[in-house]
Amino acid sequence: MDDEQLESYLKLGEEHSYILEQMRRKIEPGASVLDLVEESERLVRERGYSLAFPTNLSINEVAAHYTPFPGDELRIPETGLIKLDMGSHLEGWIVDAARSVALEEKYEEMVQVAREALDKAIERMIPGNKIRKVSEAIYDTIVSAGYKPIRNLTGHKVENYILHAGVEVPNVPTGRSMGYKIKEGDIFAIEPFVTLPEAKGYVVPLGEPLIFSLKKKGRTRDEMERRILKIVEKNYKRLPFCERWLVREIGHRVNHALSRLAGKGVLISYPPLVEVSGMMVAQYEDTVLVTADGPLRLTGERG
């Protein structure tokens, strides 16, 4: 990445952080989830950037992967805990960040613990450190505060046009990425997920998939499926997309065609992920570029 690319990347992170904060402030009881999500995506496009994935607005025990379907009438509840997760990119350089909003005072501490775990993890994103040290920072911060991490959700390495580039940053220090040595130039999205101590502490897929990505190019005799694949290959490459985006071009719902393509193995589907014991989940996330001098926070507060 040359100096001009880096400057553009930093600007993208700054703009993304601003939009994320503006949308966070609009999360209040009674607000339309569909309206909030579509406004967030519109603001990204208006600034000349592309969406790295559909905005996620996940409520209470839903930890991730909820984006509204066309005509969705879901509204922000009076009580609970909301996660807003957004991704933008410029020519494939991605920033991914999330914030949580506590609608009740009793969940505010959990949100702050997620944020503190993120800060502690980012401090360890220096060349030569192993991912284990970063993961341990997340785990230790959450557990010492009396909460429980979600063990099967992770942060992830980011590469050009690749949102999940194979190296994970788990909330619990275990898995095949533990020995990975962080290198100068690496980009990671770090995202602690926190739940209550009495929770089981892991998520399961539940409900109809709302987000998809292209797994491989495929052939089909179905005219609608062919049309969808043409749009996806042209506009989204292998980045995640949703039905709402396709409806703008096609003019009607295509959920059944998307399900068929996922069933054929052409698309990857991402159902909402729900904490298995139904407990609240908080999330905090920022994207970090590793430099020779240490971590450079692309989103959130730099320092």
Q: What is the CATH classification number for the domain harbouring 159?
A: 3.90.230.10
Residues 63, 111 share a domain:
yes
Pair 24, 150 in one domain: yes
Same domain, 131 and 280: yes
Q: Are 44 and 136 found together in one domain? A: yes
CA 156/CA 187 separation, integer angstroms: 9
Q: Is residue 19 part of a domain?
A: yes
Q: What is the distance between the alpha carbons of residues 83 and 79, in angstroms, rounded to a whole number?
A: 13
Alpha-carbon distance 90 to 179, whole Å? 31
Output the six-digit token pair for 180: 């990975």
**Residue 232: inside a domain, yes or no?**
yes
Q: Is residue 302 part of a domain?
A: no
* Paired sense of beta strands 187-190 and 154-157, if any: antiparallel
One-letter amino acid identity for 124? R
Active site residues: 85, 96, 156, 164, 191, 285
266 and 292 together in one domain: no
Provide the domain count of the chain: 2
List, in order, residues 6 or more apart from 302 with CB less than 8 Å away: 296
Q: What is the DSSP letter of 181?
A: B
Shared domain check, 97 and 180: yes
What's the CA gap between 151 and 203, in Å, rounded? Answer: 8
Domain presence at residue 250: yes
Say whether both 202 and 277 belong to one domain.
Answer: yes
> What does each of the 303 residues of the chain score in pLDDT, given as a tens digit?
788 999 999 999 999 999 999 999 999 999 999 999 999 999 999 999 999 999 999 999 999 999 999 999 999 999 999 999 999 999 999 999 999 999 999 999 999 999 999 999 999 999 999 999 999 999 999 999 999 999 999 999 999 999 999 999 999 999 999 999 999 999 999 999 999 999 999 999 999 999 999 999 888 899 999 999 999 999 999 999 999 999 999 999 999 999 999 999 999 999 999 999 999 999 999 999 999 999 999 999 765
Q: Is residue 124 part of a domain?
A: yes
Residues 161 and 236 in one domain: no
Residue 303 in domain: no
Q: How far is CA 62 from CA 57, 110, 150, 268, in A?
A: 9, 15, 12, 20
46 found inside a domain: yes
Q: What is the C-alpha to C-alpha distance for residues 125 and 120, in angstroms, rounded to an integer? A: 9
Task: Say whether both 199 and 257 belong to one domain.
Answer: no
Q: Is residue 149 part of a domain?
A: yes
**DSSP, res 90:** E
- Same domain as 217, residue 196: no
- Whether 215 and 69 map to the same domain: the answer is no
Q: What predicted TM-score, i.e. pTM, was given to this entire model?
A: 0.96
User: Does one domain contain both 57 and 140?
Assistant: yes
Residue 232, domain extent: 211-270
Which positions ≥6 away from 295 have C-beta within 8 Å?
122, 123, 125, 126, 288, 289
260: CATH: 1.10.10.10
